[in-house]
Amino acid sequence: MSNRITELFGIQYPIIAGGMAWCSGWRLAAAVTNAGGLGLIGAGSMTAEVLEENITKCRDAVNGKPYGVNIPIVNPLAPKVMELVEKYNVPVVFTSAGSPKKWTSWLHERGVKVAHVVASSVFAKKCEDAGVDVVVAEGFEAGGHNGREETTTMCLIPAVRKATTLPLVAAGGIATGDAMLAAEALGAEGVQIGTRFAITRESSAHDAFKQMCLNLNEGDTKLILKKLSPTRLVNNKFRAVLEEAEANNATAEQLLEIIGVGRAKLGMFDGDIDNGELEIGQIAALFKGREMQTVDEAMEEMLAEYAAARERICR
């Protein structure tokens, strides 16, 4: 499976593990890299000290293979993250939630390959103008924080492909080999997978969160908090409180007060599935009732599905 994505990142398969808050620690990143993809450490939920530990452990575990760090540009710790990227010669950085111009040139000067996550073709064009190496187009189906456009992956990928000639990675609702092939047919050259890897054994998320995600039905996730930053959350007691507040026209300030501090950590990392913020993609329902897999098992299954889908289509 050779294309611009595999050649740019030096990987065997064009499969990237999303850098997810509270899920994408060094074990998950290293496992995906060692399985032939590109593993990302989710810096958005880490202090500088925790991130430094994750970088050093991931670097040792992959033994020279490529890995990366994902950082929302709006995160106040972004400058410190970039210092660590430079200190440890991290080869790849994925940025999001901000202008790609802010760090791209600085990273390129240090030999770092840069990808930026967008939710519209307009921002994809801005990525090209900023000189990023790869555009990641993430659709409405994705878990966690989403773009305000609410465009599905099926609509977004061809629109972004039309807007830019940059290597394109599809994200949002992709968790199987069949979906990989569909994304390829729409113009993507690689896929970024979040949910499927978030529920693997190597994910740093709490097992209670993973097990809950393995028992979700269709419709059990919903995009809310549109007055703040649209976020896809699992239906639980905490989300019900937020939805009631939104129905009563709560202000952004009132919603922030309800959320408080550390709500996502409480749910996804500490395992309080009633009172925590639980972020996962719509595709989780596809795995209802299945056993928790390792990264190797998930990768092997997706690659087999991809090969079978290609053969079926080409008959």
Rounded distance between C-alpha atoms, residue 161 and residue 169, angstroms: 10
Strands 231-234 and 144-145: antiparallel
- The arithmetic mean of pLDDT across residues 289-295, rounded, is 97
Q: Which pLDDT does position 82 carry in this prediction? A: 96
In angstroms, what CA-CA distances link 138 with 172, 217, 253, 302, 313? Answer: 5, 22, 28, 19, 25
Residue with tokens 């997978």: 193
pLDDT tens digits along 57-70: 999 999 999 999 99
pLDDT tens digits along 189-213: 999 999 999 999 999 999 999 999 9
Q: Which pLDDT does position 13 carry in this prediction? A: 98
Q: Which pLDDT does position 145 carry in this prediction? A: 87
Q: Which stretches does DSSP call E strand in 225-290? A: 231-234
Looking at the predicted structure, is the pLDDT value of residue 283 above 90? yes
The distance between the two most distant Cα atoms of the chain, rounded to a whole number of Å, is 57
Q: Which pLDDT does position 314 carry in this prediction? A: 83
Burial zone of 289 (CB within 10 Å; 0-12 exposed, 13-18 middle, 19+ buried): exposed
Rounded distance between C-alpha atoms, residue 201 and residue 195, angstroms: 12
pLDDT tens digits along 57-113: 999 999 999 999 999 999 999 999 999 999 999 999 999 988 999 999 999 999 999
Looking at the predicted structure, is the pLDDT value of residue 287 above 90? yes
Write down the mean pLDDT value for the chain: 96
Rounded distance between C-alpha atoms, residue 276 and residue 155, angstroms: 32
Looking at the predicted structure, is the pLDDT value of residue 315 above 80? no
| Adjacent-strand bridge partners of 113 | 92
Q: Which pLDDT does position 35 carry in this prediction? A: 98
Phi/psi at 203 (5° precision): -60, 145
Residue with tokens 């709560």: 250
Global pTM value? 0.95
**pLDDT band for position 265 (50/70/90)?**
very high
- The arithmetic mean of pLDDT across residues 299-303, rounded, is 98
Contact 90, 68 (CB under 8 A): yes
- The arithmetic mean of pLDDT across residues 154-167, rounded, is 97
Q: Which pLDDT does position 54 carry in this prediction? A: 98
Looking at the predicted structure, is the pLDDT value of residue 142 above 90? yes
pLDDT above 70 coverage of the chain, percent: 100
Query: Which residue pairs, CB below 8 angstroms and at least 24 apart, start in 85-91?
Result: 85/110, 85/112, 86/110, 88/52, 88/55, 88/56, 88/59, 90/55, 91/66, 91/67
**pLDDT band for position 148 (50/70/90)?**
confident
